Amino acid sequence: MSGETDVEIYASLTDLDFEFNALRYISLTELAEDLGKSPLSYLRKVIKNRKDVFVRLRGNGAIIEGKKLEDYHKISLQVQLWRLPRKEIIKMMFEKPPWVITSIFPPDIVIGNPKLRFTVNNVESVDENDLFLVRPPTDESVNQTTDETEHQAIKKIGKRSNKELHRIFWRAFTSLRDEHGFEPKSKEVWEIIHDELKAEDQLREKKEFPPIRTYDPHDHIEIINSVHDPKPKLQWLITGSDTGISRRISEQGTFSFSTLSSLLTRLKKNPPKV
């Protein structure tokens, strides 16, 4: 028996190189690239869905057992990934990287032990390349939509639409019609929705909170391409009930600009209630 306490053993890990469990965690940038999204855009979705975010840190911390000098156990923050408190995650929604991390959840050895305290200092700023998420399960028996399989689910759903998407297009169509006094083209309907989401992203970059969307007040549209793209389309999703940990995606799909004209023709014959 060495006589070392658990705290002393944990503190002795200061010289380890950074490692993480690749089976449990996945880099935010890697997952975003797999889904065809930018890391910051996907991070906003993660924050919106209240998912845990972990960070790789460089700097020092300390576990404190008492008031004596020998009760101060310095540790390297490079020994593990650190779960971020909600306030640190929210900050990433409105501030551009690099971000200065001021608080993290303490190591497991400290949690639940009222005799121990944990402090951090000399923490270097981080960016999107330092963020990690819990790797989504790949077991097909798991009855939930995961980030890792989301892009596959979108492909399988294909051209499926939803009634709320119809209302979104109809709001844009009638708004332009009432403003200009004539029926707008499908290109104009698509572009006014695209411009609203683009303006929303610009406000977030300025650390300003965007207003409720005019045409998509329930935030169903996740991504929408410009009408000038070769094959413009949008991705939509509907979230289910809030479980207290994260909101589950109950339904999702894509919609191509090429089908908008025929949809508007049907909506003019049978306008939806908005």
Give the DSSP H or E segment for 61: strand 60-64
Whether the model pTM is above 0.75: no
| Token couple for 150 | 């989301």
pLDDT tens track of the chain, all 274 residues?
345 566 665 555 544 444 456 678 889 998 888 888 888 989 988 888 888 899 988 877 778 777 776 667 777 777 778 888 888 888 888 888 899 888 888 877 777 777 888 888 777 889 999 999 988 765 433 334 444 444 444 344 334 457 889 999 999 999 999 999 999 999 999 999 999 999 988 887 777 777 888 999 888 888 899 999 988 999 887 765 444 334 455 677 889 999 999 999 999 999 998 7
Distance, CA of 253 to CA of 163 (rounded, Å): 12
CA-wise closest residue to 223 among 26, 89, 29, 32: 32
Is 71 buried (19+), middle (13-18) or exposed (0-12) by CB count in 10 A?
middle
Residues with Cβ within 8 Å of 161's Cβ and at least 6 positions away in sequence, in order, are 253, 255, 263
pLDDT given for residue 143 in this prediction? 39
CA 274 to chain centre: 29
Residues with Cβ within 8 Å of 198's Cβ and at least 6 positions away in sequence, in order, are none
247-256 and 233-242 strand pairing: antiparallel
82-83 and 117-121 strand pairing: unpaired
